[in-house]
Amino acid sequence: MRRSTLLHSAASAVGLCALPARVLAEPAANGFDPQPDGWRTFEVTTEMRLVRPGRSQAWIPLPAVTSDWIRPLGNTWSTNAATARVVRDPAWGAQLLALTWDGADVAPAVTVHSRVTTRDRRVDLAKPAAAALSPSERRLYTRATRWIPTDGLVKTTADQITVGATTDLEKARRLYAWMVEHTFRDPATRGCGTGDVAAMLQSGVLGGKCADLNALYVGMARASGIPARDLYGIRVAPSRFGYKSLGANSEVITGAQHCRAEVHLADYGWVPVDPADVRKVMLEEPPGNRPLADPAVAAARETLFGAWEGNWIAYNAAHDVTLPGSSAPPLGFLMYPQAENAGIACDCLEPGAVAYRITAQPLSA
C-alpha cells in the first residue's frame, strides 16, 4: 500500500532572497584576504528519487560541524519513506538522515532542506594562543583509517619532508608547500576521488582531486604526530574574490562537493589548510593551466594555509562510515547522498537507479 508523505520539521521556515550573480572577472590576486567579519546563511536542498520501486534505503549527509566559522541551524524533510530518522556516527559525530522504503508500489523519494550559517575564516599565525585537544580527540585525529595509514610510505615521506623542523607549525607549513609543489589535480578522477593515500604514494602518481590530495596532507600530518582531519562538504556560493574555480557559480550545486583539511596546532587550535584548492586554481582558473608563479595562484597558495572563504559548508569529518542498515562495506567518507534500491547499492556518481539534485539559496537576514 502506498504510504502517505512523512513530513519532519527541525526548524521554522525563513524567507529566501536571490542568489548573488556577481563574480569578479579576474581573481583578486593581491586581495584574496578572507576575514571573519560577517555571517551568511544558506539553505541547501537535496532532492533524491530512486528509479525502481520496492524495498530500498537512502542516507543523506547533514551538516554536523559546529565551530567559530560554521553553525548548523536545522534540517527539514519530506518523504514517502516508511521510516526517516537522524543517525549520528558515534566515532566522528557525522549526522545523516537514514530512510527506508518497504512498499512495492512506492517510487522512493525524499527532499531535505538544511540551513547553515557560515563566515570567512582566518587564523592569525602571528598571534599564538594556547588551544589544547582532549586526549581522546588527539587519539582520534592522529589515528590511521582504512585509506589513510600513518606508517610505511606515508610516514617515510612525511619524515623526509619535515626533517629538521622543530615545531608543529613549521612541519605543517613544509607539508603544505610540498603538496602544492609536487601533486596535481587530475580532471579524469571520478567525483572528488577515493582518498586512498597509500595507493597514491605506492604508484608515485600524486594526482587526484580534493579527497585524494587533502587526505594525503592529513595522513602525513598525522604521521608527523600532528592532529589533522578532512572536512567533507559542498560549495554553496560564488567566490567574492573572483576565483571562478573556488565557488559554486550556480544555485545548482549537485557537483560542487569539496573536501578541505585542518591541522590542530597547540598554539593556534584548528588551522584551515587546502593545498588541493591551490592545484584546482592552477588547473581550472581561466584561462587554465596557470603556473605556480602566476599571481592568482600565488595569492591562493598564501591564503589557503590559515584561511578560507565562507562560501562552503562542512558536513562532517568522518572516515570509515558504516551506513545503518546497510550490508555494504564502510564508506571511506560521507559527502554524497547514498542509496540501495531493491537490494542493490547505487553508484552515487552515476545516473541510473538513483537521481539527486542539490541546490543552494542564501537566506534573507
Residue 173 and residue 179: Cα distance in Å, rounded?
10
Question: For position 174, what pLDDT does the model report?
Answer: 98
Starting at the earlier edge strand, list the strands of the sheet with 338-341.
83-88, 95-101, 56-62, 338-341, 344-345
β 207-208/184-185 pair status: parallel
Q: pLDDT for 294-309, tens place per residue?
A: 999 999 999 999 999 9
Instruction: Say whether both 144 and 104 belong to one domain.
Output: no
Question: Comparing 50 with 105, which gets the higher pLDDT?
Answer: 50
CA 212 to chain centre: 12
Instruction: Say whether both 152 and 87 belong to one domain.
Output: no
* The three grid cell numbers given for residue 101, joined into one nine-digit string: 522504503
- How would residue 30 be classed by pLDDT, with cut points 50, 70 and 90? low
Instruction: Say whether both 297 and 327 belong to one domain.
Output: no
Scan for cell 559548508, then name that residue: 313
The phi and psi torsions of 284 (rounded to 5 degrees) equal -110, -20
In a domain, 98, yes or no: yes
In a domain, 253, yes or no: yes
Give the N- to C-terminal CA distance of the chain in Å, as an integer. 43
In a domain, 29, yes or no: no
**Cβ neighbour number for residue 281 with a 10 Å cutoff:** 24
Instruction: Say whether both 166 and 253 belong to one domain.
Output: yes
Instruction: Say whether both 74 and 160 belong to one domain.
Output: no
Helix 275-284 × helix 295-303 angle, to 10°: 170
Pick the closest to residue 282 from 294, 265, 266, 264 (CA basis): 294
Q: pLDDT for 136-172, tens place per residue?
A: 999 999 999 999 999 999 999 999 999 999 999 999 9
Statement: residue 72 has pLDDT above 60: yes
Statement: residue 255 has pLDDT above 60: yes
In a domain, 26, yes or no: no
In a domain, 35, yes or no: no
Instruction: Say whether both 292 and 154 belong to one domain.
Output: yes
Domain that holds residue 54: 6-21+40-118+319-362
Question: Is the torsion defined by CA of 292, 297, 299, 300 positive or negative?
Answer: negative
In a domain, 82, yes or no: yes
Is the full-model pTM beyond 0.85? yes
Instruction: Say whether both 286 and 239 belong to one domain.
Output: yes
Instruction: Say whether both 131 and 92 belong to one domain.
Output: no
Helix (H, G, I), strand (E, B) or coil at 65: coil
Question: For position 75, what pLDDT does the model report?
Answer: 98
In a domain, 31, yes or no: no
What DSSP string runs through 168-234? HHHHHHHHHHHHHHH-EE-TTSSTT----HHHHHHHT--EE-HHHHHHHHHHHHHHTT--EEEEEEE
Instruction: Say whether both 311 and 356 belong to one domain.
Output: no
What DSSP string runs through 116-155? EEE--EE--TTS----PPPHHHHHHTTS--SS--SSHHHH
Question: For position 242, what pLDDT does the model report?
Answer: 95
Instruction: Say whether both 109 and 175 belong to one domain.
Output: no
- Average model confidence (pLDDT) across the chain: 91
Statement: residue 21 has pLDDT above 70: no
CATH number of the domain residue 113 falls in: 2.60.40.2250
Scan for cell 600524486, then name that residue: 206
* The three grid cell numbers given for residue 243, joined into one nine-digit string: 576565483
Instruction: Say whether both 135 and 190 belong to one domain.
Output: yes
Final residue belonging to a domain, choices 315, 333, 349: 315
Within 8 A by CB and 6+ apart from 114, the residues are 43, 44, 45, 46, 62, 63, 72, 74, 75
In a domain, 332, yes or no: yes
Instruction: Say whether both 245 and 332 belong to one domain.
Output: no
Quick one: how many helices (H) and strands (E) in the chain? 7, 18
Prior bond to 272 cis, omega within 30? no
Q: What share of the chain is helix, strand, coil (3-state, %, to 5)?
A: 20, 30, 50
Question: For position 364, what pLDDT does the model report?
Answer: 66
Within 8 A by CB and 6+ apart from 307, the residues are 33, 34, 120, 121, 122, 123, 272
Mean pLDDT of 111-130: 96
Q: pLDDT for 265-277, tens place per residue?
A: 999 999 999 999 9
CATH number of the domain residue 203 falls in: 3.10.620.30
Query: Could you give the number of structural domains in the chain?
Result: 2
